[in-house]
Chain A
């Protein structure tokens, strides 16, 4: 549960605090949005997320808790984004087609993407928050609005589910260059 920090903010202090939050989290939130929406929608998600933060600055927690709060806001913005929902299919297609940074064989990547896309949206999100945003269970809990323990359980189930999908698809970790990265 996030406690509301009620810090009286003067106009100048308020703007300065917001600018610090904006500058230090801009790339992370843009990345979050770009990984989940089309580029033009990502700009909207970015703007809407920071606009919420500006208007609710007194509710934005300090320190290490700031970024998970912003991710959580961005997540809701994405979820509510009509255009994002309409174009979800296109994004999924890009996920299948895009070359991976680790140069995985095209067939393996397609199988991996296909397995990932068979998961529920919630399973994909919890795995993405670890794999794409590098969050831990406590931070995931803050994003999803649940306890760290609940986040751990969701993560465990999602990992197990993806592993099952990959095994069914004959995707072997042992022969994949990702093994070296892991």
Chain B
């Protein structure tokens, strides 16, 4: 009996055929399930990789301590008001920037340096390390590529190292080079009306347990980086940031590569983390992000627990090309 005949006979037994379900993915039931799933808190039971939702660069602690020399010294209320003014101005700048329109075969290239925490749970105990990365990403309408070099991790605290020793020195992270294909760059779907965008992000943020304001600030940061947001969308994002209660202006700073930037911060009292965004006042482009520990959290207060520094960006014509320097 031929294989094809057997396979066809088995196919005959299918109680439901895919053609019977055509269109099911766009029904209200599918929409409701999707909304229910993405509202769930994301938990990794064994290993927690903390994506870089933030930050500055390698010597960032020194930067925070010493290079943010133009930090404002007003009251919180004054700083909040100033932050709103500066962020709205950044939105105005963003709106004037030329849109990035990719032709077939073109990609947006971004080079960055990142650090984030990786928590490993073993035998009911956990330890956390800080994992550094050098990252190059190519994003385009036909696909993309992520090239990453993971550096040697360091323990978040001495206690983490002691836990690691007690567990028999298990592998912490995988260092070295990786190269992966990416799906086509998703089309940005953010509304350009600030009010509508605020309502949308607020709704998303409500599902998060870390506080609505802090999550909204994070969502704004997420949308500003590597997402291909249009000038209008970027303008709306800055406008939304200006409306988030608790966002304060840190002032003019130098980021780790020495670029002038404007820093705004939001302290998250739920997870005891200070989030900082640094953007270029001339172009409104995001230069760097940073997360530092606040008192009351797992890490010592002031400890840098994550950063991302966006070093280079441009449009290139292949997934191996880099912008001309």
Contact = CB atoms under 8 A, between A and B. Distances in A.
Interface of A: 5-20, 22-24, 26-28, 30-31, 34-35, 46-47, 50-51, 54-58, 62-63, 94-95, 98, 100-102, 104, 109, 112-113, 116, 127-128, 130-132, 159, 162-163, 166-167, 173, 176, 178-179, 181-182
Interface stretch (B19-27, B240-248, B266-274, B316-324): B19-27
B181 A54 contact: no
Counting chain A CB atoms within 10 Å of each CB, which of B16, B146, B189 scores highest? Answer: B16
Interface stretch (B43-51, B61-69, B294-302): B43-51
Contacts of A56: 44
Nearest to B190: A12
Nearest to B6: A159
B158 interface: no
Contacts of A159: 3, 6-7
B105 to A, nearest CB: 19
Interface of B: 1-18, 20-26, 30, 33-34, 36-38, 40, 42-44, 49, 51-53, 114, 116, 133, 135, 146, 148, 178, 180-183, 186, 189-190, 204, 218-219, 221-223, 225-227
A178 B222 CA distance: 54
B133 to A, nearest CB: 8
Contact of B18 (A27, A62, A182): A27
Given A10-B226, A11-B218, A11-B219, A131 B17 contact: no
Contact of B12 (A9, A34, A63, A102): A102
Nearest to A172: B1
A42 to B, nearest CB: 9
When A and B form their complex, which 9 residue pairs have the shortest distance between CB atoms, in order from nearest? A131-B10, A26-B25, A10-B222, A131-B11, A182-B5, A34-B16, A163-B1, A16-B186, A182-B8
Of A19, A26, A116, the most chain B CB neighbours within 10 A belong to A26
Contacts of B51: 8-10, 14
Contacts, number: 171
Contacts of B4: 182
Contact of A27 (B9, B22, B53): B22
A112 B1 CA distance: 14
A142 to B, nearest CB: 16
B189 A16 contact: yes
Residue of B4, B18, B26, B221 with most chain A CB atoms under a 10 A cut-off: B18
Contacts of B40: 51, 54-55
8 contacts: A7-B182, A8-B51, A10-B51, A11-B204, A27-B22, A101-B14, A131-B12, A162-B6
Contacts of B148: 6
Given A10-B225, A27-B25, A55-B44, A127 B38 contact: no
Contacts of B38: 15, 18-19, 54
B21 to A, nearest CB: 4
B183 A17 contact: yes
B17 A178 contact: no
B186 A17 contact: yes
Contact of B37 (A50, A127, A176): A50
A5 B28 CA distance: 32
A181 B181 contact: no
B25 A166 contact: no
Instruction: Please indicate which of the listed interface residues B10, B13, B53, B133 has the most CB atoms of chain A within 10 Å of its own CB.
Output: B13
Given A11-B218, A13-B226, A26-B25, A63 B13 contact: no
Contacts of B26: 23
